[in-house]
Amino acid sequence: MIAIIAILAAILFPVFSQAREKARQVTCVSNMKNLGMSLMQYVSDYDETFPAWRTPCWGDGWSRRSPNSLAWFEQIDPYLRNLDIFRCPSSRFEWQWLANCYPSRDRHTLFKRPTRRVNYGFNEAVHNSAILDADPWGRGWGKLAGMRAPAEIVVIADNHNTFVCPWAEGDISINRSRVNLRIAFANAIDEGEALRALASGDSGRVENLTRHLGGSSITFADGHAKWFRWMNIRSRLYGGPMRFGPAGAGWDDE
């Protein structure tokens, strides 16, 4: 009898675990859809412009005390009013905004903001381009009207911190197909851990660094959200279905 119970447990526990993770994945996609709707409301109110935010931890918004120093999630917060939406139930880490970038004496000096827990990242190519007086790539990606294919442009995604780097790519095959490591392996400590897992050839080790059953949830510039298998989180340049940054900036996704 005990042996039978042990066999049944060995069979059912993985099933229960997968069912639980599937539920978390559904919750995460729901979060992404809500973030997408809030972005569309923000864009509608701000002349089709996405939230502008200088790259965190060194952005000039902090030194100038400008409105651009408000993080992307702080700018869309009025359209959500629910901080739990920014938290993924399957996140391995709890990135604490302000706590991770600044010493304790500086955390609450700008706009008196508290530290925040955010498990999703915003596309750096978009939020830097949205600063109209200093578009670093000059391609207008900060505005919805300047995007040729908004349904393919990644804006928010599962990520190990609060900003997605378009150039955070790593080889996954002999034909040099490349995935965006920060999104594909959102539960990795950093890109290095993901690259080491890929190089090891250990599929279990690779899967463990993904956030939701071997993939991640992504919100696009038109507001829709979808889950993708990790090996499909690639730019069009490498045969994938999405865009991470404008052409001429080193990514050639347009």
Return the bridge partners of 12, or none. Answer: none
Q: Tokens in use for 243? A: 């865009």
Task: Check residue 156 and report its DSSP letter.
Answer: E
Residue 76 has a pLDDT of 92
pLDDT digits (tens, 9 = 90+) for 150-206: 999 999 999 988 888 888 888 887 666 789 999 999 999 888 999 999 989 899 999
CA separation, residue 140 to residues 38, 145, 219 (Å): 21, 8, 19
Residue 16 has a pLDDT of 42
Q: Are 203 and 146 in contact (CB under 8 A)?
A: no
Contact residues for 31 (Cβ-Cβ < 8 A; gap 6+): 85, 86, 87, 88, 120, 217
DSSP helix/strand/coil, 67: helix
Task: Say which residue the tokens 């507001």 belong to.
Answer: 223
Could you give the CA distance from residue 119 to residue 232 in angstroms, rounded to a whole number? 21
Residue 185 has a pLDDT of 95
Could you give the CA distance from residue 123 to residue 244 in angstroms, rounded to a whole number? 7
Residue 63 has a pLDDT of 46
Give me the residues of the chain with pLDDT under 50, please.
Answer: 8-10, 12-13, 15-16, 61-64, 103-105, 107-108
Residue 162 has a pLDDT of 83
Return the bridge partners of 116, or none. Answer: 97
Return the bridge partners of 157, or none. Answer: 121, 218
- Name the residue among 2, 34, 246, 247 with its Cα closest to residue 123: 246
